Structure 1
Amino acid sequence: MNLKYLYNILCMLAVSLAATSCHDSDSTDEPDPPVPTRPSDSVHRTVLVYMLADNSLGTWSNDLSDLNEMLSAAATGALNGGRLIVYHSRPGTDSGKAPQLLEVTADGIETIKTYPDDPSIYSVDADRMSQVIDEVKALAPADDYGLVLWSHANGWMETSMSRSFGDDRRYTMKISSLAKALDGKDFSFIYFDCCSMASVEVMWELRHAAPVIVASGIELPADGMPYDLTLPYLFASGDPDVVGAASTTFDHYDSMIGSARTCAMTAVNTSAMQALADASGDIFAGVTEFDPSLSSVQPYFRSAVRTYMYDFEDYIERLNPTPAQIRAWRDALADAVVYKANTPSLFNLVDIDRYCGLGSYVILDSREISAFNYNEREWYRDVVSRSPLLATDNP
């Protein structure tokens, strides 16, 4: 056994012990430490990782792997004087392993709080997320706050069998509920460490949640963001370098071979979303028929995991905009998408020949607007429904 392997095993053991130290209701162990009543001194940045792992990702120990990466980064000074807080909804909530609030430091992982052992409370509930954010801001005050959303995700889709963001014991969070939970929380960035959230529908719904949002338009490997490589960017002095974090994640996977070489990353300037919505709405207002070529728009998904996200630029081009309209639209897209990159394929199953940075649902027939509650999305109501073909179908 080489030393590096032994070191990794010991780190994983330490993380596992820290992450499973909650006080079970039938335990005779010492009670968990009380929540601090006074905040410590303010720092330049606090980053909250909202980690929902009571699902297959936790079963595969992806949460422990990522906590290990965070611990390694903190040990090398990556936090730059900032604070890294993790809300850990861990596997086994129904059997007494209640969610915990952890702090990752250069010295290890500290349990700040163990939440009440109440399996009826789900971490995908907007009120729980809002509560956690408020508690973190009180306990770890900072000049600037960042948010990482860690779990499964499925873009804008909202049905009982799909998820927008999150998976807590098979319960999920609608994108509208996520927008509600994040309203007024004043994050400088949001980084989606999950699949398929870089869609125009999601970015429009969350346009007021943070100035910059990082996400992927496609399904990502379960390992997700390499925290040991990206945390130095998120804790950079001055403004957080979220593009640096996104590009580092992309480069990490782009350097792999075979089906492991799968990644697409996007960084969006949300202040430019209004101009993109205006330019898109002008084009949809002229759509009087469904072009048969819409069935050939570049997909961002494989048949086994259907997110119904397609390349937004490829879609817009097939709506027959005027030369002036497409120029204005491309200018707006360039202002909104400040970074994008993609590997040549998705798990060697789907070629990614086009990736403008944002996905979109493609409507081939007016009867499809209610699929997955699409007609309840703000993007549909504010932009897509301007088409005369859809105007009479507005909710």
Structure 2
Amino acid sequence: MKKVLLYIVSLLILGACSDEIPGYHQSLRAKRVILAYLVANNNLDNYIMKNVQWMYQSLSTAQDTCTLVVYYKPYSSNKYLETAEILEFQTDGYGKINGQEVLTGSSLTTENVIAQAKHHQARLGIATDPNIMKENLRMMQDIAPAESYGLIFGSHASGWFPFLNALSRSFGQDGDENNTIDIPRLATTLEQSFPSGNLEFTLFDACMMGTAEVFYELRNATRYCVASAMETPALGFPYDRFFIDLYKDVIDYSKICSETIQFNKENNSWGTYAAVDCTAMGEVAQAIQSELLSHQSELQTLDYTQVQQYGYGQYKYFSFDVVDFISQLNGGVVPANVQNSMDKAVIAKDCLDGEEYPLMTLRIDPERFCGMGMYFPGRNISYTWDRYYQSSIAWYNAAGWDKIQP
């Protein structure tokens, strides 16, 4: 009788495992899993590799089961990976990752971190191709099922810009400079990759993503977004200081911003960072539209060179501080509808004083940093930018720029 029962139980166990995807193991459904999509097939590879080590370092302090899944597309000179792979790290809450003692001290090296990962074959191809991105994000979720996800993007970027030349990329650079993905396609890709709407946050470890154009485009893809309005230092975010906090039910986004600013300060860099509730961007758009339509004559004469802006070099005037822009339209006053909508959207922010920590000639005034920027179309800043902005960026119509008389 016991043999019969054992046989039946064995059949049930085999049946329960029959839906496993080959090459994967099915994890228990976690409350939250952090995914990192790192397009490092460029000159940031060494820095992004170090970022993975910092993530591991913070993850190793977990007192519960936590999972990190990393898609990594390496540069040709990478010593540890030859091709795109998906790396899995799972803590047990008792000092082990992937069943091995956590790496500490002199053992905590990038080489050892990559060696300790569970390696899965990624879908090969251009990492910024929407189909390749969707397939890899799907595989990452299959590896680590969860109620909610946080997603870190790491690579080169240039905000809402389309690909125009070697220095304008929207998001990502996979080898060739034109292997990038524009923000509308990125938003659609994320919506399709997380059809349950369970992408809790997206953190952009990339330049110039902290604009109203990006946040509004992502409003149906992710709840929160962490990004910088300006170019970011190559060192990236100090994940060793806050990464483990990303698994908490309520994330302290102020800590992420402040720790990153402190890290940049220690490294004599620059920086602006903000966390934005993308679902509140509709209300922001309505408030901005009301102000733009009420001040059409002032728009024609506004000296935009006096507005706090976030671009340097060829990016100069790509993005102006939203609140400072509206304030100057109103003679230095911020209307209540704008302030209220921004208070709902920008849930955390921090920056370095640009007088002490400038990016070359670009200086940020902390008193005029609201957390996000936006472009000023129709003033001949760039005909190419204007044409793309009008045809492709949803914020253009949402904020009422399409209604402004030339």
- Residues paired across the two proteins, number: 345
Q: Provide the residue aligned with 1:319 in structure 2.
A: 329
Q: Tell me, which stretches of 5 or more residues in structure 1 are unaligned?
A: 1-33, 391-395
State the shift of 1:366 in Å. Answer: 6.5
Q: Provide the residue aligned with 2:52 in structure 1.
A: 67
Please point out which of 70, 75, 93 is paired with 1:91: 75
Q: Provide the residue aligned with 1:48 in structure 2.
A: 35
Q: Does 1:336 align with 2:359?
A: no
Q: Provide the residue aligned with 2:188 in structure 1.
A: 180
Measured on the aligned residues, the alpha-carbon RMSD in Å equals 2.6
Q: Percent identity among equivalent residues?
A: 26
Q: Does 1:124 align with 2:128?
A: yes
State the shift of 1:104 in Å. Answer: 2.7
Q: Distance in 2 between matches of 1:57 and 1:246?
A: 22
* Residue identity opposite 1:112 in structure 2: H
Q: Distance in 1 between matches of 2:330 and 2:403?
A: 13
Q: Distance in 1 between matches of 2:206 and 2:148?
A: 23
Please point out which of 141, 144, 147 is paired with 2:145: 141
Q: Does 1:279 align with 2:287?
A: yes
Q: Distance in 1 between matches of 2:129 and 2:272?
A: 28
Q: Does 1:359 align with 2:373?
A: yes
Larger Rg: 2
Q: Distance in 2 between matches of 1:311 and 1:387?
A: 21
State the shift of 1:38 in Å. Answer: 4.2
Distance 1:276-1:90 versus aligned 2 partners, 3 A rule = same
Q: Distance in 1 between matches of 2:225 and 2:183?
A: 14
Q: Distance in 2 between matches of 1:261 and 1:97?
A: 32
Q: Distance in 2 between matches of 1:115 and 1:209?
A: 23
Distance 1:368-1:389 versus aligned 2 partners, 3 A rule = farther
* Residue identity opposite 1:89 in structure 2: K
Q: Distance in 1 between matches of 2:383 and 2:393?
A: 10
Q: Provide the residue aligned with 2:398 in structure 1.
A: 382
Distance 1:307-1:134 versus aligned 2 partners, 3 A rule = farther
Q: Does 1:82 align with 2:89?
A: no
State the shift of 1:51 in Å. Answer: 0.4
Q: Tell me, which stretches of 5 or more residues in structure 2 are unaligned?
A: 1-20, 91-96, 101-112
In the TM superposition, what are the counterparts of 1:1-395 in structure 2 within 5 Å? 36-58=23-45, 61-77=46-62, 80-92=64-76, 97-105=82-90, 106=97, 107=100, 108=113, 109-115=116-122, 121-161=125-165, 162-169=168-175, 170=177, 171-184=179-192, 185=194, 186-236=198-248, 238-254=249-265, 256=266, 260-286=268-294, 287-288=296-297, 289-303=299-313, 306=316, 308-320=318-330, 326-345=335-354, 346-347=358-359, 349-353=361-365, 354-363=368-377, 365=379, 368=382, 370-371=384-385, 373-375=388-390, 376-390=392-406
State the shift of 1:293 in Å. Answer: 1.4
* Residue identity opposite 1:240 in structure 2: I
Distance 1:307-1:38 versus aligned 2 partners, 3 A rule = farther
Q: Provide the residue aligned with 2:7 in structure 1.
A: none
* Residue identity opposite 1:383 in structure 2: A
State the shift of 1:348 in Å. Answer: 5.3
Distance 1:310-1:139 versus aligned 2 partners, 3 A rule = same
Secondary structure in structure 1 of the residue aligned to 2:221:
coil
Secondary structure in structure 1 of the residue aligned to 2:146:
coil
Q: Distance in 1 between matches of 2:237 and 2:253?
A: 12
Q: Distance in 1 between matches of 2:144 and 2:317?
A: 36
* Residue identity opposite 1:75 in structure 2: S
Please give the TM-score of this superposition, normalised by the length of structure 1. 0.80
Secondary structure in structure 2 of the residue aligned to 1:56:
coil
* Residue identity opposite 2:351 in structure 1: N
